[in-house]
Chains A and B, each alone.
Chain A
Amino acid sequence: MWSLGPIAFGAPWLLLGLIALPILWLLLRAVPPAPTRRRFPGVALLLGLADDESQTDRTPWWLLVLRMLAVAAVILGFAGPVLNPQDDRPGRGPLLVLVDGTWADARDWPRRLDRVEAALRDAASDGRRAALVQLTDLPAEGPVFRDAQAVAQEAAGLVPRPHGPASEAIADWVEALSGDFDTFWLSDGVARDSRADLLAGLEARGIVRVFESPRPIYGLAPPRFEDGTVMLEALRARTVGTAELRVNAIGPDPAGVERRLASETLGFAADEGRATLELSLPPELRNRITRFEVEGVPSAGAVALADDALKRREVALISGGNDREELELLDPLHYLRQALAPSADLVDGTLADVLLANPDVIVLADVATLSALEAEDLEAWVEDGGLLVRFAGPRLAASDVSREALDPLMPVRLRAGGRSIGGAMSWGEPKALAPFDAESPFHGLGIPEDVAVSAQVMAQPDPTLASRVIAQLADGTPLVTRKDAGQGNIVLFHVTANAEWSTLPLSGLFVQMLERLAVSTRPAVPDLEAMEGTNWMPEDVLNAFGVLEDAGALPGVDGSRLANLTPGAEMPPGLYAGEERRIAVNVFNTDSRLQATTWPDRIPVEGLEMARETALKGWLLGGALMLLMLDILAVLALSSRLRGPRAGVAAAVLGLALAGLPTPPQAQEDEAAPPVSEDFAVAATSNVVLAYVETGIPRVDEMSEAGLYGLSNTLFQRTSIEPSMPMGVDPETDELAFFPFLYWPVTADQDLPSRAAYAKLNRYLRTGGMILFDTRDADLARFGSSSPEGQRLQAIARGLDIPPLEPIPQDHVLTRTFYLLQDFPGRHATRDVWVEAAPPDAQAAEGMPFRDLNDGVTPVVIGGNDWAAAWATDETGAPLVPIGRGMAGERQREIAMRFGVNLVMHVLTGNYKSDQVHVPALLDRLGQ
């Protein structure tokens, strides 16, 4: 290249074309623009007029200058000018190309490879021999100098390693160097102790040039879990100025697809090399995270793997029995909560909701029977690998679960009744625990003296019993039994979870037993002595680009090497699995440092400040094009053709040419999914609405609607409840939560609801809704299985979570919520109405004429009196269905209406009328 100041020309002989410019000037000048012809009648007046100046047939000078400039720009452009050209590099002798090849190189690896190839090709064109050495993969002998072209072809096979170079290996290699050679060192920019010695050794042999990329190097320290948040530290090598990073947490979603679970930005303050990020994530997300990555940096140092240290067990606690306001210490779950809260995440809720959260452990405290659907779901969950821990209690003892046949959710068969020791009616004293034997998971735990069991349920002696016992009393009675079911276990503690039957929950042994059962989380880092002699197999390893790959057939690692937690050639970073846990080895430890290299001034470092070559060819040719376009416009203007509409067009073209940038495509906005059936929700919730379940049979549905219409009218007239028109609902499709009360007429051939509908109905019942089941055949059959409707009702109710039922007692709150009633007739006048059973120990308080039975609203009322027919009226208010005969029939209709009013009042107010404040008025009314 021939250079003129800061500009060098690639094809300088084209510049000779500039000589031709003056000739061009003379030619252009002699050729005038063509004349325009016009038809003009006024030419009669023009005849005889002569032009005064005669040199106006030449091109004007400025047009000439414009054209000359355009041609000159074209010539200069094609001569290939380059601003700030690169210098050649002279040199002779062999060339050693040294590549660091660590994770810090991985980010710009293709660029480095290009640079290596360029250096090797320059060496080849200069006729020098060359050798290529990677520091993380040092060959045993010293560098072998060969033909540079051959080495350049091998360069493409270089692969970076995820760890740094081993310092002893480097020291040995430096000792083994011999001969004189120049070095071209592609350094990764991370300061290491081994660099100084290596540099000294190489400088003793010849000139050293260094290539470093100016890009910043980021690293991520392993995550820690502290106080409910995940702490992440990020490191950077060059601390100039501020920087912002985006850190992503990656893990599988519930479907197993790997996804970005959380993402946060992290900012480095100026001149700071470390920055901390606190992530507070919900436990489900946190347990699923497998690694943290810095976005946009494909290097192993920017990936931090998360192992079991981040996972906490998720334990769900479910107790049998309804919500009774009991003393806290009697609550079966209290001791469990105290034991588990520090080390595990607790989940409360109903079984259906809890199964959705997919916990690790479910604890059922004194739960005897489960509905068939729930039992099925629970079995499926246990088979999938869940741990079910059950505690006994009065309910389990009173029920007949697992008595004749082994219940799939119980580890052993139980004997009827229980065993009471040390109580008032027993012979002996409370028994202590026997020491745990070797196969039990509790082996090794010390038993405090104050642990005594005074009552428990007994296991049926069985051939399989002995293999399932993992803890027993001093006299050999099984205390804790366990069985495997699929991939999970079922464990039964034969005592209660509170201190009623034993003092076990009061002791520290309880916490240790739960921990041994893997109910709580393991501690974070194992200690060194425990690791000696253990063998850890790599499951997944990180390559230098930060990609997690399967380990394949890599050899295992001894525990003492693993405890070091520094990766090397024999232990690449990744996840190592031991017997019962996994440990992650990352590029950085919690106390690693990341510093940038500092080179002495005598070493030329390439890649940091380099004046870049700019090619001017494009600019010059573009400029020539613009000038030629201006020339077109100028010629048009000269021959005065640029008048009128042409001027407008020319201006528009000029404007477009100058503006002409394509606008970026506008991002599409996500349209939110339109809300579904808003009208239904609005209609249902704007007022109280009584609803009936559609059976599909038009007569029945019409009767239900008319019945609820009559009831709504009555409520409107007599009470402060002002319902809107009744609505029909379909449990499959409609939302049930809008309606306080559902009237369900049972027909003999009704469809059973689907699973989703059952879930909806169960949720409805649990959250305080009431369903009135009406079999409408009380004149034919009593409540039971003797009529088709009754059988249908039983089939439907099998899937629902219905509590124990009893006929309405005389002092149930339904008898006094609005009217004082003792009969609940409809079209039929039987007394067969069933509501939720009262707890067996409910008693009337002093002076109260009724017992305080249920705190909430009875979820179901079941009967067969066909209430809808009794309530049914048409739009004018005339009753639709004849009830009874004569005045007695009308009286029966009136009582049925009153029952309906009572029912709706009960739904909307609960057991308000059981409050003491109503007692005086009630006593007055009752005549006492």
Chain B
Amino acid sequence: MTERPLTLRGGAEALAAPLPPLLAEAEHLATTVIVGDHGRRRAGLGDTFWQYRPAQYHDERRHIDWRRSAKSDAQFVQDKEWQIAQSVQVWVDQSASMAFTSNEGGVTKADRARVLALATAILLLRGGERVGLTGNLLPPRRGEAQAAQMALLLCEDHPDDFGAPVADGMLHHSRAVFVSDFLGNMDEVERALARAADRDIRGALVQVLDPAEEAFPFDGRTIFESMTGAMRHETLKAGELRERYLDRLAERQARLADLARLSGWQFHTHHTGESATAALLWLYTALERHA
């Protein structure tokens, strides 16, 4: 209560400022994918019809579908499809390296990552799943309000250069999504994936890169710095470095793909120059596999 109401309101509005655009964009992205309540493709607890099976001794009489049974001599019971909400936990890299964009006023990697993650969350929430963030701040819950909460938390920026995936607080047998540029320490990623695999968590790794990072269009005498300026590298002929940089990038991507395959995850690289819908589709279908 030390703050005056005016500054409190201003501060709150500043805090909430990125929220509506992010939400709006994510909703907009989400509408590009039409989805309904997804079934588990097996018999179980649910609403929608799955199959007819002959009645067993333990089935109660009121469960017998008399219409189907009248067509033959035996008695049949309707099986419903197993619809169970599953939990999905999302981690988005909010470090400084994600705030990079190669053309002025373009989409930063962080923007794209957030929108992608939030759109996926909205889709899953509409589908009845439970979505949350990794870590302890936002456990998975149902409902549209969860999207707003997630948006609020995603809007924060972390001050360090490269981020490591947070693998705490993940529920067993749930699904996870890690969205990052994965340019930081690979050992952290490996450790996080190992913990996830221990808990039988399957998921998707989305690497968001800038087209400049993918192509390395620099030449001449250059001093490269990281986004916070902690790391620097000076070169007299940047063009000569291109091949070796690209080799290193490919090597990293290969390592990520291997890690993902070994842990049963999916891996995809997305560039901010491409359309977000494609990435969203990929992500959504990736979460469907191995249901």
Contacts and interface: CB of A to CB of B under 8 A. Distances in A.
B209 to A, nearest CB: 9
Contact of B100 (A34, A41, A52): A41
Given A36-B222, A42-B213, A43-B231, A56 B237 contact: yes
A41 B97 CA distance: 5
A328 interface: no
A481 B216 CA distance: 117
Interface string B152-189: 00000000011000000000000000000101100000
A602 B184 CA distance: 97
A184 B35 CA distance: 108
Contacts of A640: 218-220, 238
A659 interface: no
Interface string A359-388: 000000000000000000000000000000
B261 interface: no
Contact of B223 (A38, A57, A638): A38
A788 B249 CA distance: 118
A45 B220 contact: no
B252 A45 contact: yes
A53 interface: yes
Nearest to B214: A42
A643 B226 contact: no
Contacts of A32: 221
A38 B212 CA distance: 12
B227 A41 contact: yes
A727 to B, nearest CB: 72
A46 B245 contact: yes
Interface string A37-51: 111111111110101
A33 interface: yes
A35 B218 CA distance: 12
B162 A40 contact: no
B91 to A, nearest CB: 18
Interface in B184-222: 184, 210, 212-213, 216-222
Contact of A38 (B181, B218, B244): B218
A57 B220 CA distance: 9
B73 interface: no
B221 A639 contact: yes
Interface in B229-260: 231-238, 240-241, 244-245, 248-249, 252
A456 B252 CA distance: 137
Interface string A210-222: 0000000000000
B202 to A, nearest CB: 28
B66 interface: no
Nearest to B246: A45
Nearest to A33: B221
B219 A40 contact: no
Contacts of B222: 35-38
B181 A41 contact: yes
Nearest to B225: A39
Nearest to B103: A644
Contacts of A54: 236
B49 interface: no
B36 to A, nearest CB: 39
B269 to A, nearest CB: 14
Contacts of B226: 39-41, 43-44
B151 to A, nearest CB: 24
Contact of A35 (B100, B234, B240, B249): B234
Nearest to A55: B236
A43 B232 contact: yes
Given A38-B224, A38-B225, A640-B220, A45 B237 contact: no
A640 B225 CA distance: 17
Nearest to A48: B233
B217 A643 contact: yes
B245 A36 contact: no
Contacts of B184: 44
Interface centre among A45, A56, A640 (most CB of B within 10 A): A45
Nearest to B109: A41
A41 B241 contact: no
Contacts of B237: 51, 53, 56
A36 B231 contact: no
A49 B241 contact: yes
A43 B233 contact: yes
Contacts of B234: 35
A42 B225 contact: no
19 contacts: A33-B221, A35-B234, A35-B236, A36-B220, A38-B222, A39-B225, A40-B212, A41-B183, A41-B210, A42-B245, A43-B225, A43-B232, A45-B183, A49-B245, A56-B236, A638-B220, A639-B220, A640-B219, A640-B238
Given A41-B98, A640-B218, A640-B238, 13 more contacts: A33-B220, A35-B236, A40-B100, A40-B225, A41-B183, A44-B226, A44-B231, A45-B183, A45-B245, A45-B248, A46-B233, A46-B241, A46-B245
Which 6 pairs from chain A and chain B are nearest by CB? A41-B97, A35-B221, A640-B219, A640-B220, A43-B224, A45-B248
Interface of A: 32-47, 49, 51-54, 56-57, 638-640, 643
